[in-house]
Homo-oligomer: A and B are copies of this chain.
C-alpha cells in the first residue's frame, strides 16, 4: 500500500486513456470492447471501472483531457490578440488561424498524444449518439461563443444568420479534414507525405476558409451567371 505509493498514482489511468484514444479512433466507441482496451493498455480488465466508473465516463475523460486545454488555449489566444490590437477588430484570417492552428498543432505535438486524438475528434463531431454530441457540444461551447464574438467584431456588416452558417461550414471543413487525415481518401492522387504536414495543411485550409467566410452573399451569384 504505502510501498508503491511513490508514484504509482496516475500511471494506469494514463495507459488507459492513451489506449482508449487509439482504439476509439480505430474502431469507434461501441466497436471497442473493454477487453480489447485493457489488453492494449496492459492493465487489468477491472481497471477501467475502478478508475473511471464506467465506459461512458471513460469516453468523457478521453475528451476532457485534450479538449479543455485546447479550447482554453484558443480563448486565451483570441483574448491576447484582441488585447494586442488595442480595440481594433481582428483580421478574419487571424481568427481563423487561431482556431485551425490549435487543432493542427496538436497533430504535430507528439508529446500531446496528438494525431490519434485529433482524428478521433473529427470523427466524433458526427457521431450518431446524442450523449456524445452533447458532450462535445458542451466542451466546445465557450470557445465557439468567443470566436463568434470575434467574428462579429471583424465582420460587422455580415448578417448574424450568415455568419453562423459560415462558421458552421468552416467548422465542418476542419472536422472532416481532421477525420480524413491518414485514411482512405475519396479523391485519389494526393501525395501521402503532404497529409502529415501540418504547416502545409494550415496554409491550404486557411486560404480555403478565409475565401469561404468572405464569399459574396446570396444574390451575388448572378454576376457570374451572365457568362
Beta-carbon contact of B211 and A207 below 8 Å: no
Encode contact with B along A108-133: 1 for CB under 8 Å, 0 otherwise. 00000000000000110111111001
A53 CB within 8 Å of chain B: no
Encode contact with B along A167-187: 1 for CB under 8 Å, 0 otherwise. 111011101110110011111
A interface secondary structure, majority:
helix
Interface footprint category on A: 35 or more
Q: Which of A122, A126, A133, A209 has the most CB of B within 10 A?
A: A126
**Interface with B: A9-17, A39-47, A74-82, A189-197, which one?**
A189-197
Beta-carbon contact of B129 and A31 below 8 Å: yes
A103 CB within 8 Å of chain B: no
Provide the residues of chain B in CB contact with A188, threshold 8 Å: 141, 144
Interface residues, chain A, with chain B CB atoms under 8 Å away: 24-28, 30-31, 91, 93, 122-123, 125-130, 133-134, 136-137, 140-141, 144, 148, 160-162, 164-169, 171-173, 175-177, 179-180, 183-191, 194, 203-212, 214-218, 220-221, 224-225, 227
User: Can you identify 7 A-B contacts, CB atoms within 8 angstroms?
Assistant: A30-B31, A123-B126, A144-B188, A167-B187, A171-B176, A206-B221, A210-B215
